[in-house]
């Protein structure tokens, strides 16, 4: 893959590396993230990479990712059986375990005892991969198929109540399999398994670092851009801010920033962005006032993906129109992160299922007219924040909670109107203000309000009301690929609800979202 791994850190690729074979898992990059946390260089490659190509990489180990398919289905993604003859340690996760067992003589089938969510894993055999791992531990399962017979060459080494083959080891080959997902935060001891596989099985020394990413990315941008001008779209979020900071360090006055004020920003967002990027960066900043056009195009639209497509199309139209006023603009820089890429199904040209369209990934027209620069494409949010601090951005900006590309349009469920946006914007500002006042903003990952397409009966001032219901969403996460709902204090939730109902006309009911990701997503649309 390109970006933070294969393209950005060539000097680091001289050390040991792990290849992740992607079978379409939503968590493929999260696996790579866990490997990098152990200071081992990692690349994601296609599931059908040949043994010859693998030899050229000289990896210390291979990890076979999960995936949405069933191994016995026609057209299901397969790996070359020859990879098991290379003598390279292999760890199969979920689908990756199933494909390894099937190729090496096991049997995989659908089971009525499906597992989706937390389960208790019992270790039944001693093995280095389970060093320092509890004999009984909570793990995260997400499968409808399982290995019914591991085959003569495999030894079961763990089980759950409904999955007798929850982990296996081949008796002759350096091949392991885990039916559960050690990469997600819902498997508390998952990092221990990665550490053991990397150190005990692959014998990695853990000397790779991401610290030099910024300088190498800067040099890469300079070489690619030359004397041309780069345009960077700003939204007020940390992603676009870090991209702008990196580009400003790389090319200085060759950078022009464009803020499209689409009317879908948070309260006082536009003025905040203008202040930051004229005072802090002294950048060439262009502000496009486009609220009326966006709202006209969104009138009557309620389908979430269609909202994203419209916003993407209008955004590009406005962007291109403004860019024409800037001479020698050949490149467009975007703050695309890997969760955006993997959830749009755009990663690796592979079999990943599409979860949602992002206007800066899935909604780009083919006749864009610019060459794209996406220096953060393979990074997670926590890595982007680290990079932002390294580039000298203020902590207040770096630690802002994420904001989706389509803005409040995907938090205003149903039709997007000026009136409904005003309600949502004021409520959102209240929940942010209250959590900051409680000194919990930095301790949570993302907090926002969602205006529901639902009205409910209420009583206000002894009169019957029939007004809008609103939800508050707050989550904790390290990587934004998985997340759990935040256990906010009841008194704080009560204060948020009271203020919203009293101060925001049109709302008479406030709910709190207690869904995790998965199965829900962080955003509602």
The secondary structure element, H or E, covering residue 429 is helix 418-437
Alpha carbons 75 and 20: distance in angstroms, whole number: 21
8 A C-beta contact, residue 146 and residue 108: yes
Task: Examine the residue annotation and report whether 183 is marked as an active-site residue of this protein.
Answer: yes
Phi, psi dihedral angles at 43 (to 5 degrees): -130, 150
CA distances from 57 to 18, 30, 49, 328, 464 (A): 9, 21, 11, 39, 69
DSSP strands (E only) in 97-236: 107-123, 136-149, 154-159, 167-170, 175-178, 229-234
**Separation of first and last alpha carbons in the chain:** 28
349 Cβ neighbours under 8 A, 6+ residues apart: 46
CA distances from 282 to 152, 222, 236, 248, 426 (A): 67, 20, 16, 10, 30
Cis link prior to 518 (omega < 30° from 0)? yes
The SS3 call for residue 405 is coil
Closest CA to 313 of 290, 336, 331, 335: 290
Task: Examine the residue annotation and report whether 280 is marked as an active-site residue of this protein.
Answer: no
Alpha carbons 172 and 153: distance in angstroms, whole number: 7
The SS3 call for residue 441 is coil
The secondary structure element, H or E, covering residue 52 is helix 51-57
Task: Examine the residue annotation and report whether 202 is marked as an active-site residue of this protein.
Answer: no
- Of residues 183, 269, 343, 525, which has the active-site annotation? 183
- Number of neighbours of residue 7 by Cβ within 10 angstroms: 15
DSSP notation for 203-263: -------STTHHHHHHHHHHHHHTT-EEEEEE-SSHHHHHHHHHHHHHHGGGEEEEEEE-S
Largest CA distance in the chain: 77
Alpha carbons 258 and 234: distance in angstroms, whole number: 6
CA distances from 278 to 275, 281, 283, 346, 480 (A): 6, 6, 6, 34, 30
Alpha carbons 157 and 151: distance in angstroms, whole number: 14
Tell me 410's DSSP state. Answer: G
8 A C-beta contact, residue 35 and residue 194: yes
- Of residues 42, 47, 79, 94, which has the active-site annotation? 94
CA distances from 480 to 7, 91, 388 (A): 23, 24, 18
- Of residues 47, 143, 181, 358, which has the active-site annotation? 181
Q: Which residues are catalytic?
A: 94, 181, 183
């Amino acid at each position: 893959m390109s970006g933070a791994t294969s393209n950005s850190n060539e000097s680091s690729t001289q050390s040991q590396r792990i290849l992740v074979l992607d079978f379409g898992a939503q968590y493929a990059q999260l696996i790579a993230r866990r490997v990098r946390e152990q200071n081992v260089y990692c690349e994601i490659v296609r599931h059908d990479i040949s043994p010859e190509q693998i030899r050229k990489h000289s990896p210390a180990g291979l990890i076979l990712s999960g995936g949405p398919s069933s191994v016995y289905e026609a057209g299901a993604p397969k790996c070359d059986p020859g990879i098991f003859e290379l003598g390279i340690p292999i760890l199969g996760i979920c689908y990756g375990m199933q494909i390894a067992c099937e190729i090496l003589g096991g049997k995989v089938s659908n089971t009525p005892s499906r597992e989706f969510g937390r389960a208790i894993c019992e270790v039944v055999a001693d093995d280095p991969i389970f060093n320092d791992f509890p004999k009984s531990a909570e793990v995260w399962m997400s499968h409808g198929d399982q290995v019914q017979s591991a085959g003569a060459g495999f030894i079961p080494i763990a089980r759950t109540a409904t999955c007798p083959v929850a982990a296996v080891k081949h008796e002759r080959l350096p091949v392991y399999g885990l039916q559960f997902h050690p990469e997600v935060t819902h498997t508390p001891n998952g990092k221990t398994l990665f550490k053991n596989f990397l150190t005990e099985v692959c014998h990695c020394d853990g000397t790779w670092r991401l610290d030099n990413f910024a300088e190498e990315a800067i040099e890469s941008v300079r070489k690619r851009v030359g004397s041309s001008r780069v345009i960077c779209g700003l939204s007020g979020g940390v992603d676009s801010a870090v991209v702008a900071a990196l580009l400003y360090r790389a090319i200085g006055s060759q950078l022009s920033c464009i803020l499209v004020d689409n009317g879908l920003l948070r309260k006082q967002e536009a003025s905040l962005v203008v202040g930051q990027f004229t005072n802090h960066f002294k950048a060439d900043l262009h502000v496009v006032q486009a609220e009326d056009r966006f709202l006209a195009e969104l009138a009557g639209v309620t389908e979430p993906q269609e909202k994203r497509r419209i916003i993407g199309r209008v955004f590009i139209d406005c962007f291109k129109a403004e860019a024409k006023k800037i001479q020698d603009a050949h490149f467009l820089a975007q703050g695309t992160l890997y969760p955006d890429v993997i959830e749009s199904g755009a990663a690796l040209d592979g079999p990943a299922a599409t979860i949602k369209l992002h206007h800066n990934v899935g909604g780009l027209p083919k006749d864009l007219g610019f060459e794209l620069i996406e220096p953060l494409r393979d990074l997670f949010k926590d890595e982007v924040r680290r990079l932002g601090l390294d580039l000298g951005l203020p902590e207040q900006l770096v630690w802002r909670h994420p904001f989706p590309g389509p803005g409040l349009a995907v938090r205003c469920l149903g039709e997007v109107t000026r009136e409904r946006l005003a309600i949502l914007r004021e409520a959102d500002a209240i929940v942010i203000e209250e959590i900051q006042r409680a000194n919990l903003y930095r301790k949570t990952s993302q907090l926002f309000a969602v205006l529901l397409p639902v009205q409910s009966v209420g009583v206000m001032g002894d009169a019957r009301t029939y007004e809008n219901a609103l939800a508050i969403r707050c989550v904790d996460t390290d990587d934004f690929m998985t997340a759990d709902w935040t256990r906010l204090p009841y008194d704080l939730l009560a204060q948020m609800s009271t203020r919203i109902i009293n101060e925001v006309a049109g709302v008479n009911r406030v709910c709190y979202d207690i869904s995790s990701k998965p199965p829900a997503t962080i955003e509602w649309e």
